[in-house]
Protein backbone atom coordinates (compact mmCIF):
# COMPACT_ATOMS: atom_id res chain seq x y z
CA UNK A 1 0.00 0.00 0.00
CA UNK A 2 0.98 3.62 -0.49
CA UNK A 3 -0.06 6.43 1.88
CA UNK A 4 0.28 10.21 2.09
CA UNK A 5 0.14 12.31 5.23
CA UNK A 6 -0.57 16.01 4.73
CA UNK A 7 -0.04 18.76 7.30
CA UNK A 8 0.02 22.52 6.78
CA UNK A 9 1.28 24.03 10.02
CA UNK A 10 2.40 27.30 11.59
CA UNK A 11 4.30 25.69 14.45
CA UNK A 12 4.92 22.46 16.30
CA UNK A 13 2.35 20.83 18.53
CA UNK A 14 0.22 17.73 18.83
CA UNK A 15 -0.31 17.47 15.07
CA UNK A 16 3.44 17.58 14.51
CA UNK A 17 3.90 14.75 17.03
CA UNK A 18 1.21 12.74 15.22
CA UNK A 19 3.20 12.83 11.99
CA UNK A 20 6.01 10.84 13.60
CA UNK A 21 3.70 8.25 15.17
CA UNK A 22 1.78 7.72 11.93
CA UNK A 23 5.04 7.46 9.96
CA UNK A 24 6.33 4.78 12.33
CA UNK A 25 2.94 3.03 12.17
CA UNK A 26 3.11 2.84 8.38
CA UNK A 27 6.70 1.68 8.45
CA UNK A 28 5.81 -1.08 10.92
CA UNK A 29 2.89 -2.18 8.72
CA UNK A 30 5.02 -2.21 5.55
CA UNK A 31 3.13 0.72 4.04
CA UNK A 32 5.14 3.04 1.75
CA UNK A 33 4.43 6.59 2.91
CA UNK A 34 5.33 10.21 2.23
CA UNK A 35 4.52 13.38 4.14
CA UNK A 36 3.25 16.42 2.24
CA UNK A 37 4.26 19.18 4.62
CA UNK A 38 4.34 22.94 4.97
CA UNK A 39 5.69 24.25 8.24
CA UNK A 40 8.70 25.49 10.18
CA UNK A 41 10.29 22.15 11.07
CA UNK A 42 10.62 19.92 8.01
CA UNK A 43 14.20 18.94 8.87
CA UNK A 44 13.30 16.99 12.06
CA UNK A 45 10.88 14.96 9.95
CA UNK A 46 13.64 14.17 7.47
CA UNK A 47 16.07 13.41 10.30
CA UNK A 48 13.58 10.78 11.49
CA UNK A 49 13.65 9.13 8.06
CA UNK A 50 10.31 10.53 6.88
CA UNK A 51 10.06 11.17 3.13
CA UNK A 52 8.97 14.82 2.98
CA UNK A 53 7.48 16.60 -0.03
CA UNK A 54 7.37 20.31 0.69
CA UNK A 55 3.94 21.76 0.01
CA UNK A 56 3.08 25.39 -0.74
CA UNK A 57 0.66 26.97 1.69
CA UNK A 58 -1.54 27.76 -1.29
CA UNK A 59 -2.60 24.08 -1.27
CA UNK A 60 -5.41 25.13 1.10
CA UNK A 61 -6.73 27.71 -1.38
CA UNK A 62 -9.74 26.95 -3.63
CA UNK A 63 -7.59 28.24 -6.51
CA UNK A 64 -4.80 25.71 -5.96
CA UNK A 65 -5.93 23.29 -8.73
CA UNK A 66 -5.30 26.08 -11.22
CA UNK A 67 -1.75 26.83 -10.01
CA UNK A 68 1.47 25.24 -11.37
CA UNK A 69 2.22 23.60 -8.01
CA UNK A 70 -0.86 21.40 -8.37
CA UNK A 71 0.69 19.39 -11.21
CA UNK A 72 4.10 19.37 -9.49
CA UNK A 73 2.75 17.97 -6.23
CA UNK A 74 0.74 15.28 -8.02
CA UNK A 75 3.79 14.36 -10.10
CA UNK A 76 6.05 14.13 -7.02
CA UNK A 77 3.58 11.96 -5.13
CA UNK A 78 3.10 9.61 -8.08
CA UNK A 79 6.88 9.35 -8.50
CA UNK A 80 7.08 7.99 -4.94
CA UNK A 81 4.50 5.23 -5.40
CA UNK A 82 1.71 6.00 -7.86
CA UNK A 83 -1.76 7.09 -6.80
CA UNK A 84 -2.06 6.70 -3.01
CA UNK A 85 -4.33 4.05 -1.55
CA UNK A 86 -5.23 6.46 1.23
CA UNK A 87 -4.43 9.94 2.52
CA UNK A 88 -4.37 11.00 6.18
CA UNK A 89 -5.12 14.72 6.11
CA UNK A 90 -4.10 16.40 9.35
CA UNK A 91 -5.13 19.69 7.70
CA UNK A 92 -8.74 19.71 6.53
CA UNK A 93 -8.35 22.62 4.12
CA UNK A 94 -5.91 20.60 1.99
CA UNK A 95 -8.46 17.87 1.30
CA UNK A 96 -10.24 19.46 -1.72
CA UNK A 97 -6.99 19.77 -3.69
CA UNK A 98 -5.92 16.23 -2.85
CA UNK A 99 -9.33 14.78 -3.70
CA UNK A 100 -9.09 16.49 -7.07
CA UNK A 101 -5.60 15.05 -7.60
CA UNK A 102 -6.59 11.53 -6.57
CA UNK A 103 -10.39 11.12 -6.73
CA UNK A 104 -10.32 7.35 -6.06
CA UNK A 105 -8.05 7.59 -3.03
CA UNK A 106 -9.57 7.00 0.42
CA UNK A 107 -9.49 10.35 2.22
CA UNK A 108 -9.18 10.33 6.01
CA UNK A 109 -8.88 13.15 8.50
CA UNK A 110 -8.39 13.10 12.25
CA UNK A 111 -9.95 15.33 14.88
CA UNK A 112 -7.38 17.38 16.76
CA UNK A 113 -10.08 19.82 17.87
CA UNK A 114 -13.88 19.95 18.00
CA UNK A 115 -14.10 22.01 14.80
CA UNK A 116 -15.88 19.72 12.33
CA UNK A 117 -16.72 22.38 9.72
CA UNK A 118 -14.65 20.96 6.85
CA UNK A 119 -14.58 17.26 7.77
CA UNK A 120 -17.63 16.19 5.72
CA UNK A 121 -15.29 16.08 2.71
CA UNK A 122 -13.52 13.02 4.15
CA UNK A 123 -14.39 9.36 3.58
CA UNK A 124 -13.44 8.67 7.19
CA UNK A 125 -13.23 10.98 10.19
CA UNK A 126 -11.06 9.60 13.00
CA UNK A 127 -11.96 10.73 16.51
CA UNK A 128 -9.73 10.47 19.55
CA UNK A 129 -12.14 9.83 22.45
CA UNK A 130 -15.79 9.11 23.19
CA UNK A 131 -16.72 12.73 23.87
CA UNK A 132 -15.34 13.79 20.51
CA UNK A 133 -16.99 10.81 18.80
CA UNK A 134 -20.41 11.86 20.11
CA UNK A 135 -19.90 15.46 18.96
CA UNK A 136 -18.58 14.48 15.53
CA UNK A 137 -21.43 12.03 14.87
CA UNK A 138 -23.95 14.75 15.70
CA UNK A 139 -22.21 17.27 13.47
CA UNK A 140 -21.56 14.84 10.58
CA UNK A 141 -24.60 12.54 10.35
CA UNK A 142 -23.82 11.40 6.78
CA UNK A 143 -20.08 10.88 7.25
CA UNK A 144 -18.27 7.74 8.44
CA UNK A 145 -16.97 8.66 11.91
CA UNK A 146 -14.95 6.14 13.90
CA UNK A 147 -13.22 6.41 17.28
CA UNK A 148 -9.78 4.97 16.54
CA UNK A 149 -7.71 7.34 18.69
CA UNK A 150 -4.11 8.07 17.71
CA UNK A 151 -1.47 5.44 17.07
CA UNK A 152 1.23 5.33 19.71
CA UNK A 153 4.40 4.01 18.09
CA UNK A 154 7.50 5.35 19.88
CA UNK A 155 10.87 5.40 18.20
CA UNK A 156 12.98 2.36 19.00
CA UNK A 157 15.83 4.56 20.22
CA UNK A 158 13.69 7.06 22.15
CA UNK A 159 15.53 7.93 25.38
CA UNK A 160 13.69 7.44 28.66
CA UNK A 161 14.29 7.97 32.38
CA UNK A 162 17.54 6.83 33.93
CA UNK A 163 17.61 3.83 36.28
CA UNK A 164 18.74 6.10 39.13
CA UNK A 165 16.39 6.33 42.13
CA UNK A 166 17.48 9.29 44.29
CA UNK A 167 16.13 9.53 47.83
CA UNK A 168 14.39 12.78 46.95
CA UNK A 169 11.10 12.87 45.00
CA UNK A 170 10.85 15.44 42.20
CA UNK A 171 7.57 16.78 40.82
CA UNK A 172 7.66 17.98 37.20
CA UNK A 173 5.53 20.40 35.22
CA UNK A 174 6.03 19.90 31.46
CA UNK A 175 4.55 22.30 28.89
CA UNK A 176 4.05 25.92 28.00
CA UNK A 177 4.20 28.18 31.04
CA UNK A 178 0.85 29.75 30.17
CA UNK A 179 -2.49 30.16 31.95
CA UNK A 180 -4.13 27.37 29.93
CA UNK A 181 -1.55 24.97 31.43
CA UNK A 182 -2.11 26.49 34.90
CA UNK A 183 1.37 26.18 36.41
CA UNK A 184 0.50 28.59 39.23
CA UNK A 185 -2.02 26.16 40.72
CA UNK A 186 0.76 23.58 40.90
CA UNK A 187 3.15 26.01 42.61
CA UNK A 188 0.45 26.95 45.14
CA UNK A 189 -0.34 23.29 45.82
CA UNK A 190 3.35 22.47 46.21
CA UNK A 191 3.79 25.34 48.66
CA UNK A 192 0.87 24.12 50.79
CA UNK A 193 1.72 20.41 50.71
CA UNK A 194 3.30 18.60 53.65
CA UNK A 195 6.17 16.85 51.91
CA UNK A 196 9.62 15.54 52.76
CA UNK A 197 12.04 18.51 52.97
CA UNK A 198 14.11 17.27 50.02
CA UNK A 199 11.09 17.15 47.64
CA UNK A 200 11.61 19.35 44.58
CA UNK A 201 9.42 20.95 41.93
CA UNK A 202 10.84 21.41 38.41
CA UNK A 203 9.14 23.57 35.77
CA UNK A 204 10.06 22.34 32.27
CA UNK A 205 8.98 24.78 29.57
CA UNK A 206 8.69 28.49 28.91
CA UNK A 207 5.99 31.07 28.38
CA UNK A 208 4.31 34.31 29.39
CA UNK A 209 3.76 33.32 33.05
CA UNK A 210 7.40 32.61 33.83
CA UNK A 211 7.84 35.72 35.99
CA UNK A 212 4.65 34.98 37.93
CA UNK A 213 5.79 31.40 38.51
CA UNK A 214 9.23 32.57 39.66
CA UNK A 215 7.65 34.99 42.13
CA UNK A 216 5.27 32.34 43.50
CA UNK A 217 8.14 29.86 43.74
CA UNK A 218 10.29 32.33 45.68
CA UNK A 219 7.42 33.05 48.08
CA UNK A 220 6.87 29.33 48.69
CA UNK A 221 10.21 28.93 50.45
CA UNK A 222 10.58 25.50 48.80
CA UNK A 223 12.92 24.13 46.14
CA UNK A 224 11.57 25.10 42.73
CA UNK A 225 13.73 25.11 39.59
CA UNK A 226 12.99 26.61 36.17
CA UNK A 227 14.55 24.27 33.60
CA UNK A 228 13.30 25.91 30.40
CA UNK A 229 12.65 23.67 27.41
CA UNK A 230 14.49 20.35 27.46
CA UNK A 231 15.04 18.18 24.40
CA UNK A 232 13.76 14.62 24.95
CA UNK A 233 12.44 15.67 28.38
CA UNK A 234 11.86 12.17 29.73
CA UNK A 235 15.54 11.41 29.31
CA UNK A 236 16.02 13.99 32.11
CA UNK A 237 13.75 11.99 34.45
CA UNK A 238 14.72 9.25 36.89
CA UNK A 239 12.86 6.67 38.97
CA UNK A 240 11.91 9.26 41.60
CA UNK A 241 10.22 11.69 39.21
CA UNK A 242 6.48 12.37 38.96
CA UNK A 243 4.74 14.26 36.14
CA UNK A 244 2.07 16.80 37.12
CA UNK A 245 -0.20 18.34 34.46
CA UNK A 246 -2.69 20.91 35.85
CA UNK A 247 -3.99 22.10 32.43
CA UNK A 248 -7.33 23.86 32.12
CA UNK A 249 -7.71 22.48 28.56
CA UNK A 250 -5.93 20.15 26.13
CA UNK A 251 -6.92 18.88 22.70
CA UNK A 252 -5.03 15.60 23.25
CA UNK A 253 -2.42 14.41 25.71
CA UNK A 254 0.65 12.98 24.02
CA UNK A 255 2.63 13.90 27.14
CA UNK A 256 0.62 11.58 29.40
CA UNK A 257 0.95 8.74 26.92
CA UNK A 258 4.69 9.29 26.67
CA UNK A 259 4.95 9.36 30.47
CA UNK A 260 3.04 6.08 30.79
CA UNK A 261 5.22 4.54 28.09
CA UNK A 262 8.24 5.34 30.26
CA UNK A 263 6.56 4.20 33.49
CA UNK A 264 6.49 7.74 34.92
CA UNK A 265 3.77 8.35 37.56
CA UNK A 266 1.20 10.97 36.55
CA UNK A 267 -1.05 13.43 38.37
CA UNK A 268 -3.35 15.42 36.07
CA UNK A 269 -6.32 17.76 36.08
CA UNK A 270 -9.64 16.02 35.49
CA UNK A 271 -10.34 17.27 31.99
CA UNK A 272 -11.73 14.82 29.45
CA UNK A 273 -8.50 14.12 27.57
CA UNK A 274 -6.57 13.49 30.80
CA UNK A 275 -9.34 11.26 32.17
CA UNK A 276 -9.30 9.31 28.90
CA UNK A 277 -5.49 8.97 28.87
CA UNK A 278 -5.40 7.86 32.51
CA UNK A 279 -8.19 5.31 32.19
CA UNK A 280 -10.52 7.28 34.43
CA UNK A 281 -7.91 7.28 37.20
CA UNK A 282 -6.65 3.70 36.79
CA UNK A 283 -3.23 4.78 35.53
CA UNK A 284 -2.71 7.96 37.59
CA UNK A 285 -4.34 10.50 39.90
CA UNK A 286 -6.92 13.06 38.77
CA UNK A 287 -7.94 16.26 40.56
CA UNK A 288 -10.55 18.96 39.76
CA UNK A 289 -9.31 21.72 37.45
CA UNK A 290 -7.84 24.69 39.34
CA UNK A 291 -8.38 23.08 42.76
CA UNK A 292 -5.08 23.71 44.56
CA UNK A 293 -6.28 22.02 47.75
CA UNK A 294 -7.19 18.81 45.91
CA UNK A 295 -3.87 18.91 44.07
CA UNK A 296 -2.07 19.35 47.41
CA UNK A 297 -3.70 16.13 48.63
CA UNK A 298 -2.73 14.34 45.40
CA UNK A 299 0.90 15.50 45.71
CA UNK A 300 1.08 14.25 49.29
CA UNK A 301 -0.40 10.87 48.35
CA UNK A 302 1.79 10.37 45.28
CA UNK A 303 5.06 11.24 46.99
CA UNK A 304 4.26 8.85 49.86
CA UNK A 305 3.17 6.00 47.58
CA UNK A 306 5.66 6.30 44.74
CA UNK A 307 5.91 2.58 43.99
CA UNK A 308 2.13 2.28 43.84
CA UNK A 309 2.06 5.22 41.42
CA UNK A 310 4.73 3.57 39.27
CA UNK A 311 2.73 0.34 39.15
CA UNK A 312 -0.32 2.34 37.94
CA UNK A 313 1.79 3.94 35.20
CA UNK A 314 3.18 0.57 34.06
CA UNK A 315 -0.38 -0.80 33.86
CA UNK A 316 -1.19 2.23 31.69
CA UNK A 317 1.81 1.52 29.48
CA UNK A 318 0.71 -2.06 28.85
CA UNK A 319 -2.90 -1.09 28.12
CA UNK A 320 -1.77 1.79 25.90
CA UNK A 321 0.28 -0.48 23.66
CA UNK A 322 -2.50 -3.09 23.55
CA UNK A 323 -4.97 -0.50 22.25
CA UNK A 324 -2.84 1.92 20.21
CA UNK A 325 0.42 0.13 19.43
CA UNK A 326 1.40 -0.40 15.79
CA UNK A 327 -0.20 -3.81 15.28
CA UNK A 328 -3.61 -3.22 16.92
CA UNK A 329 -3.98 0.30 15.54
CA UNK A 330 -3.11 -0.72 11.99
CA UNK A 331 -5.63 -3.58 12.18
CA UNK A 332 -8.39 -1.08 13.03
CA UNK A 333 -7.30 1.43 10.42
CA UNK A 334 -6.81 -1.13 7.64
CA UNK A 335 -10.26 -2.56 8.32
CA UNK A 336 -11.84 0.87 7.78
CA UNK A 337 -9.90 1.42 4.55
CA UNK A 338 -10.97 -2.00 3.28
CA UNK A 339 -14.64 -1.35 4.11
CA UNK A 340 -14.58 1.98 2.25
CA UNK A 341 -12.89 0.44 -0.79
CA UNK A 342 -15.33 -2.48 -0.81
CA UNK A 343 -18.30 -0.13 -0.62
CA UNK A 344 -16.93 1.71 -3.66
CA UNK A 345 -16.43 -1.54 -5.54
CA UNK A 346 -12.68 -0.93 -5.67
The reported pTM is 0.92
Residue-range domain boundaries for the chain: 2-153+325-344, 170-323
pLDDT in tens, 296-327: 999 999 999 999 999 999 999 999 999 999 99
**What are the residues whose beta carbons fall under 8 Å from the beta carbon of 226, sequence distance 6 or more?**
203, 210, 213, 214, 217
Task: Tell whether the model's pLDDT for residue 72 goes beyond 60.
Answer: yes
The reply to whether 170-323 shares the fold of 2-153+325-344 is: yes
Q: What is the pLDDT of residue 344?
A: 87
Closest CA to 327 of 28, 116, 16: 28
321/261 Cα distance (integer angstroms): 8
Q: What is the pLDDT of residue 12?
A: 65
Q: What percent of the chain has pLDDT over 90?
A: 90
Task: Tell whether the model's pLDDT for residue 26 goes beyond 80.
Answer: yes
Q: What is the pLDDT of residue 9?
A: 87
Q: Are 33 and 2 in contact (CB under 8 A)?
A: yes
pLDDT in tens, 40-66: 889 999 999 999 999 999 999 999 999
Q: What is the pLDDT of residue 181?
A: 97
pLDDT band at residue 346, thresholds of 50, 70 and 90? low
102/13 Cα distance (integer angstroms): 28
Closest CA to 239 of 304, 295, 160: 160
pLDDT in tens, 238-295: 999 999 999 999 888 999 999 999 999 999 999 999 999 999 999 999 999 999 999 9
* Burial class of residue 11 in the structure, from the number of CB atoms within 10 Å of its CB (0-12 exposed, 13-18 middle, 19+ buried): exposed
2-153+325-344: CATH number: 3.40.50.2000
pLDDT band at residue 335, thresholds of 50, 70 and 90? very high
Classify 170-323 by CATH class.
alpha beta
Q: What is the pLDDT of residue 53?
A: 97
Q: What average pLDDT does this structure show over 153-176? A: 95
pLDDT band at residue 137, thresholds of 50, 70 and 90? very high
Alpha-carbon dihedral 112, 117, 118, 119, rounded to 10 degrees: 60
> Residue 8: enclosing H or E segment and its boundaries?
strand 2-8
**What are the φ/ψ torsions at residue 121 (nearest 5 degrees)?**
-75, -15
Q: What is the pLDDT of residue 149?
A: 93
Amino acid sequence: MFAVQVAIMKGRGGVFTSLFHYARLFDSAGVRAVCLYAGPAAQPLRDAGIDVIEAPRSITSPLFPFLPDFARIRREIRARGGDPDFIMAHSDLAMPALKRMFPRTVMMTRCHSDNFKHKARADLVVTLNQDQQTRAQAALPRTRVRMLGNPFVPAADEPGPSADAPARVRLNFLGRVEQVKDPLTLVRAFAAATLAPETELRIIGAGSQENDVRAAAAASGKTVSMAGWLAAPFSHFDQSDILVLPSEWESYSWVIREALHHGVPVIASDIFVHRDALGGGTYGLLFPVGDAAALTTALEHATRHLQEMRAMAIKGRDDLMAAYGAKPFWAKMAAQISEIQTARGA
